[in-house]
Structure 1
Amino acid sequence: MKRINPFYAVGLAALIALPAVIAGVYPGGQRYYLHIVIQMLIWAQIYTGWSLMGRFGLTSLGHGAFTGIGAYVTVLLWNYTGLTPLVGIPVAVIIAVIAGLLIGYPCFLQRIKGHYFALMTLAMVEFVRLCIVGWRSVTGGSLGTQAQRYGDGISLYAVQFEPDRVLAYFIVLAAWLMTLAIWHRVDRSMDRLALEALGQDEEAAAAVGIDVTREKLKITAISAGLCAFGGAIFAQYQMYIGPETIAGLGVSLSIVFGAIAGGMGVLLGPTVGAVFTQFLSEGLRVAVQSSQTLSGLFGNRALALDMLIYGVLLVLFIIYMPKGILGTVQNWLRRVHHAEKTR
């Protein structure tokens, strides 16, 4: 029987106890701080889903389309047909997977990769965003839309849990843990070796019998499905969705930045990236609201400064920390450990 890593056991216990700790330390601000943690976990789940592709050189700038599909399909099915999200979320995931395969199959078949593949995914996310904005009679257009509340807003049938932040936390925690388990399963599979070979040299990999198109489609389907699932969870928690909050280029770039910043080649790297980006955006929001100088200088546009900062930091991370925060720390610890052993 395989033993559980003590580090993971302690970490899981800490996460389970976190709501109680927050309530004890911040009794008056429990809902606010728990909301921040929930946001971190939602985006950590989405970043981890993206990293399944990104770590193998499949740089997609279009995963905002998958999160948008997950959110909008789930909410619209509920609002217009009364279909419970218990069914609507799997439907949304399937539609996102189909969309990923439709964009991926011709690209992989024609050996489109690198920045050309990134541009193709960029076109996809813009297409989805324009569909959302243009179909305003149904989607609410650029103003977004809300899921119709069911009763008091806490319902298993409607998958609505926003008023109860503790319940929301454990649901989002379960979704994040499931995604980590999938990431770990892929990392321990033969598919990882095949995808790493493809990332190095597709022609050589194909020459030794690896089905290039099939392997890429498999990881694309998994990544698209996980991001759509995260988008649906986001919609059910926030009870509001809009093209700027869960779909579109801005969301896609935030996903890419978060995964790269944390370290997309490490299991908890995207989670570290989510914590980093949420602290950055929330810290900037608080700074702007509390500083009259920043508010007077930038006005409402100051709240969009996080995208500018993301861009600058992304360049710096790629140049100086290509393995991300967690990957760089792990490499440093390995070097220190190796130096101590060789003394």
Structure 2
Amino acid sequence: MTELTIALDAMGGDQGPDIVVTALARALSSFPRVHFILVGDEAKLNTLLQQHPQIQKSARVSLQKSTQVVAMTDKPSAVVRAKPDSSMRVALDLVHNGSAQACVSAGNTGALMAMAYLTLKTLPGVMRPALVASLPQQNGSQGLLLDLGANPSCDAETLCQFGIMGSVMAQHINAVKKPRVALLNMGTEEMKGNDIVRHAALLLKASPHVEYIGFVEGSDLFSGKADVIVCDGFTGNIALKSCEGLAELLYANLKQSFSGHTMSKWLVKLLFKRYRKSWDWLNPDQYNGASLLGLRGVVMKSHGNASANAYFSAIQHAIREAEVSLPEQIHDRIEAALLELR
């Protein structure tokens, strides 16, 4: 692997810099050829780093001072103008000027999307960037869902581009030779859905750059029927958060069912030990990290309340995308698609 540099927005998110520094300590040992730039309040970061001597001593970590912080409640439009020296903006600037190949932030999603769009711009030919995340599948693989909120409404051409970008990501990140692309709809029949979705289906079906398989329903998100599922950001955001809410409900009920009883606790430990591989596959931490596709650089959005383990997963995903030069791969495929339309 060629040497890479990843910029970390240390001040973003609900947990602050503590989890970022803890995740960085793990990333240093896991990726011996990757350099990291920790962006944020210098005094706070130096205090935290005293608890992590392996980071302080490492020649692969540098600090980049920033004087402002983007709050989770800040309005994106106001942040762009009022906080040019925020840790989020400085991390993005490092990608823009080539000092880093990717940035990771757990900060305000709207602000990150607005700043990334302003700082990095979209790839030539890309109409809109899309927020994409991995979903576990029944067959043990990983699927992709996009858009997750960057674009509440989309036209058919934009949805078609999302399908192309998602297909490229599935090939280079998930190692799927011929990714199956589907549109999320209210039914699988061709006459179902609104005009935009039906038009997008025609465009995807006619495109030689995707393996379009038709419509899928919400119940198919984890079925493994498709490697890439495309929808507008309004639909995708609701779908993803509904799944997260259900997962939290199931976990809470399971925890309550087994609490307070010695035999139940013993049974849980036995089951966990026996089926640990299955539990690890379902662990949401490993799926943390939503990528902004279509930009001239790698931008990874970590969940705002992510744990250190989850933030480490976001770093992993960012490294992988930078490693395969994902923006360049998307650019080549989009350019080929546009040439065919001329």
Asked if Structure 1 and Structure 2 have the same fold, meaning a TM-score greater than 0.5 normalized by the shorter chain, the answer is: no
Give the TM interval when normalised to the shorter protein.
Answer: under 0.3
TM-score (norm 2): 0.24
Which structure's residues are more often helix, by fraction?
1
